[in-house]
């Protein structure tokens, strides 16, 4: 039994194998293509006669019928030219059928030369491996990307004539060798570049140690964006599976050359739409949050993003994936991201500046505060208020801890987490449940500190769990099996506080972002005290 001729199509976030069938017969000279082809596939009918004749293969006279199976699946995103041509040549006995299951993935120009797919080559290769197809023939420019799929033999051939020669003598050709994964990263960005900001540096290190979400707030020039952009080099390399997942997402958008073992760092502009951040379009494509999978999604000046964009993040941050549903298509993309955000304390930026007065009215302050909803605030594990560094800190040596020391401590922390994973059921605490953290070791004093905080402060159930997770990471960073009182105090100091009626707050909590409305009126009224 002859092996079927295979093509591929993109649907949602995956590729699917398509069987190409051909029948020729008497009748008027015409080419019929059925099976829900898109415009690109239908246009192949006009390219095939010229491509075959260029390589001395006669195009049959009469009716030519191409059938794409399964017919119910829309055919789009990947070219079918080569698969159609080989299926026709096999039907006409002009070339032998492939000796094993082979995926033909290339478009043909009028000269019969093979052209690479615009996107999705890696996804098609992975679909071929899942379908027990171990050979793939494509253009040389796409063979490197196809070879990234484990278990596939990708051949980059130049034109249709060479493809026929390959089918006649496959032993004369060697498959493409995949490139080694890339470890490239920017070494110019160092944590030592930031002077002062001891509390913020501690929060950033804990965020990396436990993959916690981090929100930094402060006046302009305090180093918020600088610190955020220097966190990516502290992340460990991706595993082979994670690198392949990231590559699959990027393959939906364009061609690839090699796997990257460095976690992605995505920083969309504040003008980005919900479709750009979450994904969408026609056809569906992943957004920035999916492209940041296994890495960092950095939202600089978070309140400047539109409300639908920010509210759309809530479900992906909890479920670690993005689900897009449209009338004719649907897709699910992985989105296990570490969210890093920055903001100013008010529209003018100087509400918490020790020297520059704030010029915002109470109405502007309230409007600015309401740009970030309470549910989204509650999803941040760490919140830190930053203030300007002193002249001594700016002119002095780099503030400790230094990059080398931090990298070593983080490596020891990951080793400790991996050792404890078998006993407590989780490594990094971001995936731990409340019961798991409570049973893995919680000192009585730490539990007492948490009970007092719940009684006095507006902490939700989610906020309590996130405090415990941060405290667990702080204990891991000190290689401690038990969560101690000092770990709980540190975790509580990073919780964001909403506007409250009380004018005082515990010293180990962040400063209130916005004072009460009555205080603002007194400050702006004639003769009002600035204090």
**Residues 104-125: pLDDT tens digits?**
999 999 999 999 999 999 999 9
| Residue 395 included in any domain | no
Residue 323 domain boundaries: 191-198+217-390
Between the alpha carbon of residue 344 and those of residues 151, 224, 352, 353, 421, the distances in Å are 50, 9, 9, 10, 38
Q: What is the pLDDT of residue 438?
A: 86
Same domain? 127 vs 11: yes
Residue 505 confidence (pLDDT) above 80 = no
Helices (H), 240-373: 240-251, 274-278, 288-291, 307-311, 314-319, 362-369
285-286 vs 279-280, strand pairing mode: antiparallel
Q: Which one of 357, 390, 423 terminates a domain?
A: 390
Flag whether pLDDT at 523 surpasses 50.
no
Binned at pLDDT 50, 70 and 90, residue 514 comes out as very low
Flag whether pLDDT at 288 surpasses 60: yes
* C-alpha dihedral sign at 244, 246, 247, 251: positive
In-domain check, residue 497:
no
Any residues with CB less than 8 A from the CB of 505 and at least 6 apart, and which?
497, 511, 512
**Residues 176-209: tens digit of each pLDDT:** 998 888 766 655 688 888 888 889 999 999 999 9
What would you measure as the largest C-alpha separation in the chain, in angstroms? 99
**Mean pLDDT, range 209-238, rounded to an integer:** 93
- Does residue 182 fall inside a structural domain? no
Same domain as 450, residue 305: no
Tokens linked to 254? 């364009």
Per-residue pLDDT tens for 393-409? 888 888 888 888 999 99
The 10 Å Cβ neighbour count of residue 497 is: 19
- pTM for this entry: 0.88
Q: Do residue 417 and residue 384 come from a single domain? A: no
Indicate if 379 and 459 belong to the same structural domain: no
Residue 1: pLDDT above 90?
Answer: no
- Angle, helix 403-424 to helix 461-477, in steps of 10 degrees: 110
From 460, 175, 210, select the one nearest 338 (Cα to Cα): 210
Segment among 83-97, 206-220, 503-517 with least mean pLDDT: 503-517
Residue 143 has pLDDT above 50, yes or no: yes
pLDDT at 398: 82
Residue corresponding to tokens 């992340």: 235
Query: Beta strand pairing status for 107-108 and 114-115?
Result: antiparallel
Asked if residues 201 and 191 have their Cβ atoms less than 8 Å apart, the reply is yes
For residue 497, name the pLDDT band (cuts at 50, 70, 90).
low
Q: Is the pLDDT of residue 217 over 80?
A: yes
- In angstroms, rounded to a whole number, what is the distance separating the alpha carbons of residues 62 and 72? 27
- On whether residue 301 sits in a domain, the answer given is yes
Helix and strand tally (H, E) in the chain? 21, 18
Is the pLDDT score of 457 beyond 90? no
Domain match, 378 and 472 both: no
Strands (E), 35-152: 63-69, 102-105, 107-108, 114-115, 135-138
Total domains in the chain come to: 3
CATH number of the domain where residue 279 is located:
3.40.50.300
pLDDT-derived band at 495, boundaries 50, 70, 90 = confident
Identify whether residues 267 and 381 lie together within a single domain.
Answer: yes
Q: What is the pLDDT, as a whole number, of residue 29?
A: 87
- The answer on 268 and 137 residing in a single domain is no
Say whether both 374 and 250 belong to one domain: yes
Domain membership flag for residue 509: no
| Any domain includes 399 | no
Q: Are residues 224 and 325 in the same domain?
A: yes
- Rounded to the nearest integer, the mean pLDDT of the chain is 89
Cα separation of 217 and 223, whole Å? 10
Same domain assignment for residues 375 and 422: no
Polymer length of the chain: 531
Domain identity same for 225 and 314: yes
Residue of 502 and 81 predicted with greater confidence: 81
- Same domain as 371, residue 439: no
Residue 373 lies in a domain: yes
Closest among 343, 112, 391 to 218, alpha carbons compared: 343
Asked whether residue 260 carries a pLDDT value surpassing 70, the answer given is yes
Average pLDDT value for residue range 162-178: 94
Distance CA 72, CA 20 (A): 14
| CB environment 268-297: b (16+ within 10 A), e (fewer) | beeebebbbbbbbeebbbbbbbbbbbbbbb
> Any idea what DSSP says for residue 430?
G
pLDDT in tens, 333-368: 999 999 999 999 999 999 999 999 999 999 999 999
User: Cβ distance 5 to 167 under 8 Å?
Assistant: no
* Total Cβ atoms within 10 A of residue 193: 15
The shares of helix, strand and coil residues in the chain, as percent rounded to the nearest 5, are 40, 15, 45
Phi-psi region of 467 (alpha: psi -120 to 50; beta: other; left: phi over 0): alpha
The answer as to whether 340 is a domain residue is: yes
Burial class (CB in 10 A: 0-12, 13-18, 19+), 169: exposed
Q: Point out the least confidently predicted range of 37-41, 309-313, 526-530.
A: 526-530
CA separation for the pair 22, 7 (Å, rounded)? 13
Query: Which of residues 339, 357, 390 is at a domain's end?
Result: 390
Percentage of the chain modeled with pLDDT above 70: 92
> Would you say residue 452 has pLDDT above 50?
yes
Position 527 scores a pLDDT of 44
Residue 390 pLDDT: 86
Query: Taking residues 150-155, what's their average pLDDT?
Result: 96
Instruction: Find the CATH number of the domain harbouring 160.
Output: 3.30.230.10
Bridge pairing between strands 330-334 and 321-325:
antiparallel
- Percent of the chain surpassing pLDDT 90: 75
């Amino acid at each position: 039994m002859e092996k079927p001729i295979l093509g591929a199509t993109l649907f949602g976030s995956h590729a699917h194998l398509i069987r190409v069938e051909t029948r020729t017969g008497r009748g008027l000279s015409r080419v019929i293509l059925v099976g829900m082809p898109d415009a690109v596939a239908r246009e192949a009918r006009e390219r095939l006669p010229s491509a075959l004749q260029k390589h001395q293969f006669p195009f049959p006279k009469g009716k030519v019928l191409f059938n794409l199976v399964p017919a119910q699946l829309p055919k789009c995103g990947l070219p079918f030219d080569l698969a159609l041509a080989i299926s026709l040549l096999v039907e006409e006995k002009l070339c032998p059928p492939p000796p094993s299951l082979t995926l033909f993935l290339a478009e043909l120009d009028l000269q019969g030369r093979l052209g690479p797919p615009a996107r999705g080559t890696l996804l098609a290769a992975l679909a071929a491996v899942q379908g027990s197809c171990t050979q793939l023939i494509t253009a040389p420019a796409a063979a490197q990307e196809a070879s990234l799929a484990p278990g596939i033999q990708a051949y980059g051939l130049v034109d249709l004539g060479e493809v026929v020669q390959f089918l006649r003598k496959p032993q004369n050709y060697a498959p493409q060798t995949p490139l080694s994964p890339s470890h490239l990263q920017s070494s110019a960005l160092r944590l030592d570049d930031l002077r002062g900001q001891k509390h913020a540096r501690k929060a950033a290190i804990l965020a990396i140690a436990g993959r916690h979400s981090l929100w930094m707030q402060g006046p302009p020039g305090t180093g918020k964006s600088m610190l955020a952009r220097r966190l990516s080099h502290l992340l460990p390399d991706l595993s082979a599976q994670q690198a392949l997942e990231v590559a699959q997402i990027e393959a939906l958008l364009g061609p690839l050359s090699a796997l990257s073992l460095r976690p992605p760092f995505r920083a969309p502009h504040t003008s980005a739409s919900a479709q750009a951040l979450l994904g969408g379009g026609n056809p569906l494509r992943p957004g920035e949050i999916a492209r940041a999978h296994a890495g960092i999604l950095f939202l600089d000046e978070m309140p400047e993003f539109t409300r639908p964009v920010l509210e759309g993040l809530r479900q992906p941050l909890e479920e670690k994936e993005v689900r897009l549903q449209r009338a004719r298509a649907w897709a699910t993309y992985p989105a296990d991201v570490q969210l890093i955000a920055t903001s100013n304390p008010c529209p003018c930026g100087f509400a918490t500046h020790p020297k520059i007065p704030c010029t915002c009215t109470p109405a502007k302050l309230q409007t600015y505060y309401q740009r970030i909803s309470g549910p989204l605030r509650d999803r941040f594990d760490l919140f830190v208020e930053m203030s300007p560094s002193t002249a001594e800190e700016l002119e002095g040596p780099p503030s400790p801890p230094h990059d080398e020391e931090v990298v070593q401590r983080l490596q020891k922390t990951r080793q400790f987490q991996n050792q404890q994973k078998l006993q407590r059921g989780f490594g990094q605490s971001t995936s731990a449940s409340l019961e798991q953290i409570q049973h893995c070791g919680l000192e009585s004093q730490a539990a007492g500190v948490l009970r007092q905080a719940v009684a006095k402060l507006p902490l939700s159930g989610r906020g309590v769990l996130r405090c415990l997770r941060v405290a667990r990471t702080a204990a891991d960073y000190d290689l401690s099996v038990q969560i101690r009182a000092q770990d709980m105090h540190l975790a509580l100091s990073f919780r964001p506080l909403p506007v409250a009626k009380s004018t005082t707050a515990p010293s180990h909590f962040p400063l209130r972002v916005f004072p009460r409305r009555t205080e603002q009126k007194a400050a702006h009224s004639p003769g009002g005290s600035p204090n």
